[in-house]
Chain A
Amino acid sequence: MTNDKFSWKERILIIALIVLGIALIGFFGARAMRSYVRLQQTGLSTGATDVEAIRGWMTIPYIAHACNVPEDALFEALGIPEAGNEKQSIMQLARKYDLKRADIRTVFQAVILRYQQNAPPEADGAP
Chain B
Amino acid sequence: MTDLTDFFLTGMLVYGPLALSLALMLGALGAPLPGTLLVLAAGAFARDAIFNWPLAAVLALLGVAIGDSIGYFVGRYAERYIPRRIQENDSWQQAQDTFNQKGGIAIYLTRFLLTPLAVPTNLIAGSSGYTYGRFLVFDLAGEATWVLLYGSLGYAFAGSWEVINELAGSIGGVLVGVVVLGGGIYWLVRRVKSE
Listed in ascending order, the chain A residues whose CB lies under 8 Å from chain B are 3-4, 6, 10, 13-18, 20-29, 31-32, 35-36, 38-39, 42-50, 55-59, 61-62, 65-66, 87, 89, 91-92
5 A-B pairs with C-beta separation under 8 A: A46-B157, A48-B48, A49-B47, A49-B158, A57-B10
Give the A-B pair count, Cβ closer than 8 A.
139
Partner of B177, one of A16, A24, A39, A87: A24
B58 within 8 A of A: no
Q: How far is the CA of A116 from the CA of B183 in the complex (A)?
A: 56
Q: How far is the CA of A77 from the CA of B183 in the complex (A)?
A: 58
Listed in ascending order, the chain B residues whose CB lies under 8 Å from chain A are 1, 5-7, 9-10, 13-14, 44-45, 47-50, 156-161, 163-164, 166-167, 169-174, 176-185, 187-188, 191, 194-195
Q: What residues on A are CB-neighbors of B160 within 8 Å? A: 39, 42-45, 50
Given A42-B163, A49-B47, A57-B9: A22 and B177 interface contact (C-beta under 8 Å): yes
Q: How far is the CA of A1 from the CA of B5 in the complex (A)?
A: 44
Docked-complex contact A45 and B159, CB < 8 angstroms: yes
| A27 closest partner in B (C-beta) | B173
Docked-complex contact B184 and A17, CB < 8 angstroms: yes
| B181 closest partner in A (C-beta) | A21
Docked-complex contact B50 and A17, CB < 8 angstroms: no
A64 CB, min distance to chain B CBs, angstroms: 11
